[in-house]
């Protein structure tokens, strides 16, 4: 701690410019050092080239998405034009109603607008993004495709007489009747999508049984055994025996001996097991049975908490032991293991934390990294670490378990490790594509649902629709309810169940209820249904081809959530959801051509699109100093790494040669973003540890604690404003909310009355407890507290977030102090309605949606900045604004 103070004092003396220069030098030094190392290395390796290529690749990916969206738009316009031309002929013949005339005019306008935008785009693009080879090649392909598309349209056009077209336009008006039509091959020329969609069946995913002779042989064997058993003794079998028999029927079972032999021969093994092969439950047991558990624990990581828990429970049942004894799991807030544990399931983040205290994994004899293809941030770091550990621990067996697509890549990364394949247990799924692109995928999805419901027998299976977010799900639900109501009793019952993570859990439970006879269930889900939860009875999947993805811009430090086309891998994963219990069908709302040419093969790994502050701090505290050349499977952009290093330096977690300081070491102990950790550590100085802990716990929740149902918006808002009374912005609001809840002895009823999400705030409580326990380890006296002192709280917050300060400018907008970027208070903030907005703000995060918004803001006194971060702020910065303050607050009449 003393050294930190010295550092701060030293910094006081540094002039601001000098300081800036120093920072630049620091970054430069880091770069130089790394480059020198590269040069040394590059004699035998071509790291430099790799590095450059990596950057280009990244740019390529962004570019390909741009091209994708643009092309999609272009084709929509072409189609729009064609259908318009068509209708125009009718227009001339005076056979259209006035509404349809209006619609055509509207269509023309849209086309003009889009074309205008495109031209602007092109002008901007010149010289920047054009990537000669690939772009041109794609262009021609696209042109061919379009030519093909249009020729089809010409043919279609000839087939239809004017009379028919007129009839069709009449049919369109009669909304109810046309829905009952059977799917046909006639294409209807619609501007707005509201009719049938044509699908083409393109392929069928392979089922498991036919290609797997080995498996069927064993099945016969078991069947025979079973029959023998029945003949020999008719005694009832116990529950456990039944489970054991079930184990033998899993697709992995016939490969047991082969697999164990492979493990014996190879230290690293890439295991390709398709879904339903039983690998997650069986492999650790096999390793245990053959005796690896005597050398050390068998670990198995999962990307999700629930998975770790449920798999551990299942395995303990199979082994007939109590959960938490021989078989256990460890996840955040819950350690269900003991001295006796030999098979341990855990989340990948938990293993990372474990590596911090046990860098060589010495208590393990085998480590299985499951679901590696998901490429979570945590598992990506694990790959790098584990690859290194394996080198100096030849006795450690490493198994990387992944789905089919990435196996080669994993094998290559792990020094050409051998690949072991296990077939899965999946039913075939027919894949359908649309004949032409759909403009409005939400509407298209709704129509497809109705099409399936009408044309497929009820009882043949439920429908699962993938949409991008809560809003879309809500609109889709409304449209569906309305249309089914219009159809009335002419169709059988359709149960509509929305699912997304923010939905209260009682409503989420609805999707698991069994579908009553004579009805069909439609589940409208976000990508939560892709991996996190499985629903039985789904036989039809509708894939819109989009999801929301986080992206991070290192230069501006801004995260944004964007609707993005899914990858081929993700789309296949979605399709797979239809074939879990019976053969299924998957309807993709895009063309087969787009699937092949426009979708990326794999989703961009998380590590390439996230803020790396935490990752860098963790690696540094593991003693890995050369981050630029850390063996990442996909290297994060150098920009992002440097920005994180710079930020950690500013926070005092790194010294001027990029080494971890004592403060940094303490910060790394907390499972928090670096800025939040810093606030916690500094809270002791301002004597408000308890308050900061609660606030930080609430801040780190991510999602909103305040529940806001549509029909009770005003009540919910007033409830929230109650907490805002007393000032201190969103931070103090959250704190008061938490303390009030705590004072009611954590009552659920209180949450209900105050429109607070029970699930979220309970999580805050867990986090707070965990942080409190960690305080002891980093020697923070957690008892000091200053209730109702906003200044103390905000000073502690500011010591972590002095980077995120914005100042009210003359125009009435805020500008960030660091980058002079114009930003706005998010409307969800309690300060957004303030008559007189504070001059200086500290914000928790920037999020780009429609504008650049600051989320979770609090007013501060600019003089604190000089006090707290003298190496960043100078007296002159602060005085400057005080001078402006007097005339402005009056002249800016609101």
Partner DNA sequence: GAGCACTGC
By CB under 7 A, name the binding residues for DNA: 303-306, 331-332, 347, 349-350, 352-353, 376-378, 468-471, 500-502, 526-528, 532, 547-550, 561, 614, 671-672, 700, 702-704, 708, 713, 717, 826-828, 832, 847, 849-851, 853, 855
The CA-atom distances, in angstroms, between 545 and each of 71, 539, 867 are 15, 18, 52
Q: Please identify, using beta-carbon distances, which residue of 189 and 738 lies nearer to DNA.
A: 738
Spatial separation of the C-alpha atoms in residues 518 and 151, rounded to whole Å: 43
Q: How far is the CB of 333 from DNA (least distance, A)?
A: 7
Question: Least separation, in Å, of the C-beta of 542 and DNA?
Answer: 17
Which tokens in the block code for residue 891? 């002249």
Nearer to DNA, 187 or 768 (CB): 768
Give the shortest CB-317-to-DNA separation in angstroms: 21
- H-run or E-run covering 794: helix 790-801
On whether the CB atoms of residues 757 and 319 are closer than 8 A, the answer is: no
Angle at 425 between CA 419 and CA 429, to 5 degrees: 110
Between residues 181 and 353, which has the closer beta carbon with respect to DNA? 353
**What minimum distance in Å lies between the beta carbon of 461 and DNA?**
24
| Alpha-carbon span 553 to 296, nearest angstrom | 43
Q: Is 495 helix (H, G, I), strand (E, B) or coil?
A: strand
CB of 582 to DNA, least distance (A): 26
- CA angle (527 as vertex; 522, 532 as ends), nearest 5: 95
C-beta closer to DNA: residue 287 or 774: 774
Comparing CB distances to DNA, the nearer of 739 and 828 is: 828
Q: Burial level of 367, CB count in 10 A (0-12/13-18/19+)?
A: buried
DSSP string, 134-198: HHHHHHHHHHHHHHHHHHHHHHHHHHS-HHHHHHHHHHHH-HHHHHTSPP-SPPP--SS--S---
- Alpha helices by DSSP H, 405-542: 407-413, 441-455, 470-487, 505-509, 528-531
Cα–Cα distance measured from residue 536 to residue 524, given in angstroms and rounded to the nearest whole number: 14
Q: Which residues pair with 270 in a beta bridge?
A: 400, 419
Q: Judged by CB, which is closer to DNA: 350, or 464?
A: 350
Residue (330 or 401) nearer to DNA, CB: 330
Give the shortest CB-799-to-DNA separation in angstroms: 20
| Min CB(208)–DNA separation in Å | 28
Q: Among residues 165 and 541, whose Cβ is nearest to DNA? A: 541
Two tokens, residue 703: 């999602």
Burial class for 590, CB neighbours closer than 10 Å (0-12, 13-18, 19+): buried
Nearer to DNA, 16 or 665 (CB): 665
What's the CA gap between 387 and 415, in Å, rounded? 9
Q: What region does 779 belong to: left with phi over 0, alpha with psi -120 to 50, or beta?
A: left
CB 650, CB 674: distance < 8 Å: no
**Residue 723 Cβ vs DNA, minimum distance, rounded to whole Å:** 15
Whichever of 400 and 612 has its CB closer to DNA, that residue is: 612
Strand (E) positions, 339-415? Answer: 343-347, 364-369, 397-402
Smallest gap from Cβ 514 to DNA, in A, equals 23
Strand positions, DSSP E, 237-323: 268-273, 297-302
Q: Decide: 494 and 484 in contact? Cβ < 8 Å.
A: yes
Least distance from C-beta 284 to DNA, angstroms? 19
| Rounded-to-integer distance, Cα 514 and Cα 506, Å | 15
Shortest spacing between CB 54 and DNA, in angstroms = 22
For the CB of residue 560, give the shortest distance to DNA in the complex, in Å: 8
Rounded CA separation 135/137 (Å): 5
Q: What DSSP assignment string belongs to 474-494?
A: HHHHHHHHHHHHHHGGGS-EE
Taking the complex as a whole, the smallest distance from the CB of residue 528 to DNA amounts, in Å, to: 4
Beta pairing partners, 299: 344, 367
In the complex with DNA, the residue whose CB is nearer, 503 or 642, is: 503
Residues 6+ apart with CB under 8 A from 457: none
Q: Which is nearer to DNA, 16 or 759 (CB)?
A: 759
Minimum CB distance to DNA, residue 770 (Å): 8
416 — alpha (psi -120 to 50), left (phi > 0) or beta? left
- Residue with Cβ nearer DNA (349 or 576): 349
Residue 25 CB coordination number (10 Å): 12
CA angle 5, 9, 15 (to 5 degrees): 145
Q: CA 12 from chain center: how many Å?
A: 41
Q: CB–CB of 527/550 below 8 Å?
A: no
To the nearest whole angstrom, how small is the minimum distance from the Cβ of residue 827 to DNA? Answer: 4
User: Shortest distance, CB of residue 292 to DNA, whole angstroms?
Assistant: 25
- 190 C-beta neighbours (distance < 10 Å), count: 18
> Which C-beta is closer to DNA: that of 6 or that of 306?
306
Cβ distance to DNA smaller for residue 202 or 828: 828
CB of residue 527 to DNA, shortest distance in Å: 5
- Give me the helix-helix angle, 613-621 and 638-651, nearest 10°: 70
Hey, is 635 helix, strand or coil?
A: coil
Least Å distance, CB 205 to DNA, is 24
DSSP string for residues in 825-871: E-TTSGGGG-SS--SEEEEEEEEESSSEEEEEEEE--HHHHHHH-TT
Is the CB of 305 or the CB of 818 nearer to DNA?
A: 305
Closest to DNA by CB, 587 or 844:
844
> DSSP E strands: which ranges in 517-669?
519-525, 538-543, 546-553, 558-565, 584-588
Distance CA 330, CA 324 (A): 9
Nearer to DNA, 17 or 836 (CB): 836
């Amino acid at each position: 701690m003393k050294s930190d103070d010295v550092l701060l004092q030293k910094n006081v003396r540094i002039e601001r410019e000098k300081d800036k220069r120093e920072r630049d030098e620091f970054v430069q030094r880091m770069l130089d050092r790394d480059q020198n190392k590269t040069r040394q290395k590059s004699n035998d390796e071509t790291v430099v080239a790799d590095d450059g290529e990596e950057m280009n690749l990244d740019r390529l990916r962004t570019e390909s998405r741009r091209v994708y969206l643009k092309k999609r738009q272009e084709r929509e316009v072409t189609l729009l034009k064609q259908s318009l031309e068509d209708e125009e002929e009718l227009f001339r013949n005076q056979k259209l109603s006035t509404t349809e005339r209006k619609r055509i005019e509207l269509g023309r306008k849209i086309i003009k607008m889009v074309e205008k935008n495109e031209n602007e785009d092109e002008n901007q693009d010149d010289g920047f993004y054009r990537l000669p080879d690939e772009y041109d090649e794609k262009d021609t392909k696209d042109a061919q495709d379009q030519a093909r598309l249009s020729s089809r349209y010409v043919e279609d056009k000839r087939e239809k007489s004017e009379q028919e077209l007129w009839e069709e336009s009449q049919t369109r008006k009669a909304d109810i009747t046309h829905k009952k039509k059977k799917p046909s091959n006639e294409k209807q020329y619609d501007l707005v999508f509201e009719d049938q969609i044509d699908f083409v069946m393109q392929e069928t995913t392979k089922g498991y049984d036919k290609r797997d002779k080995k498996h069927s042989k064993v099945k016969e064997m078991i069947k025979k055994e079973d029959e023998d058993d029945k003949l020999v003794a008719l005694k009832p079998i116990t529950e456990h025996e039944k489970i054991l028999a079930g184990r033998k029927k899993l697709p992995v079972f016939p490969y047991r001996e082969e697999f164990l032999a492979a493990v014996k021969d190879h230290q690293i093994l890439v295991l390709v097991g398709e879904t339903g092969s039983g690998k997650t439950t069986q492999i650790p047991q096999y390793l245990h049975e053959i005796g690896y558990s005597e050398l050390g624990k068998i670990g198995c990581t999962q990307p999700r908490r629930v998975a770790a828990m449920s798999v551990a429970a299942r395995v303990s049942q199979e082994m007939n032991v109590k959960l938490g004894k021989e078989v256990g799991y460890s996840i955040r807030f819950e350690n269900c293991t003991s001295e006796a544990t030999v098979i341990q399931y855990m989340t990948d983040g938990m293993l990372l934390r474990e590596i911090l205290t046990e860098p060589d994994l010495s208590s393990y004899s085998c480590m299985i990294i499951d679901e590696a293809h998901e490429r979570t941030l945590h598992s990506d770091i694990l790959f790098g670490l584990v690859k290194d550990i394996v080198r100096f621990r030849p006795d450690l067996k490493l198994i990387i378990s992944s789905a089919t697509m990435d196996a080669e890549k994993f094998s290559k990364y792990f020094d050409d490790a051998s690949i072991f394949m296990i077939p899965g247990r999946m039913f075939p799924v027919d894949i359908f594509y649309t004949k032409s692109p759909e403009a409005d995928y939400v509407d298209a999805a709704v129509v497809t649902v109705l099409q399936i419901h009408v044309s497929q027998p009820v009882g043949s299976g439920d429908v699962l629709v993938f949409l991008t977010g809560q809003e879309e799900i809500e609109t889709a639900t409304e449209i569906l309810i309305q249309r089914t109501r219009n159809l009335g009793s002419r169709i059988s019952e359709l149960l509509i169940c929305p699912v997304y993570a923010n939905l209260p859990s009682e409503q989420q439970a609805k999707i698991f209820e069994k579908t009553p006879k004579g009805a069909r269930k439609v589940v409208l889900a976000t990508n939560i249904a892709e991996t996190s939860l499985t629903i039985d009875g789904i036989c039809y999947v509708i894939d819109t081809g989009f999801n929301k993805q986080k992206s991070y811009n290192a230069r501006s430090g801004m995260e944004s959530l964007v609707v993005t086309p899914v990858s081929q891998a993700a789309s296949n994963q979605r399709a797979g959801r239809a074939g879990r219990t019976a053969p299924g069908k998957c309807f993709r709302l895009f063309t087969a051509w787009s699937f092949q040419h426009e979708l990326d093969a794999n989703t961009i790994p998380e590590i390439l699109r996230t803020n790396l502050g935490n990752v860098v701090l963790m690696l540094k505290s593991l003693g890995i100093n050369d981050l630029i050349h850390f063996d990442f499977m996909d290297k994060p952009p150098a920009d992002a790494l440097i920005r994180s290093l710079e930020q950690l330096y500013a926070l005092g977690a790194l010294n001027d040669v990029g080494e971890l300081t004592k403060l940094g070491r303490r910060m790394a102990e907390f499972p928090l973003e670096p800025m939040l950790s810093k606030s916690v550590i500094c809270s002791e100085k301002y004597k408000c540890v308890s308050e900061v802990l609660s606030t930080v716990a609430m801040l780190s929740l991510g999602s909103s604690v305040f529940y806001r149902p549509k029909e009770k918006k005003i009540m919910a808002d007033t409830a929230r404003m109650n907490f805002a009374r007393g000032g201190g912005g969103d931070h103090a609001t959250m704190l008061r909310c938490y303390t009030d809840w705590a004072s009611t002895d954590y009552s659920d009823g209180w949450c209900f009355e105050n429109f607070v999400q029970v699930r979220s705030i309970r999580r805050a409580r867990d986090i707070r407890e965990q942080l409190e326990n960690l305080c002891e380890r980093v020697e923070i006296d957690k008892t000091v507290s200053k209730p109702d002192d906003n200044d103390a709280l905000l000073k502690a917050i500011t010591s972590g977030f002095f980077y995120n300060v914005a100042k009210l400018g003359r125009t009435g907008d805020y500008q960030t102090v660091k980058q002079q970027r114009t930003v706005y208070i998010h409307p969800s903030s309690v300060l957004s309605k303030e008559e007189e907005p504070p001059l200086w703000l500290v914000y928790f995060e920037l999020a780009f949606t429609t504008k650049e918004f600051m989320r979770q803001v609090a007013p501060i006194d600019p003089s604190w900045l000089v006090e707290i971060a003298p190496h960043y702020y100078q007296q002159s910065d602060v005085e400057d604004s005080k001078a402006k303050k007097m005339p402005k607050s009056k002249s800016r009449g609101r």
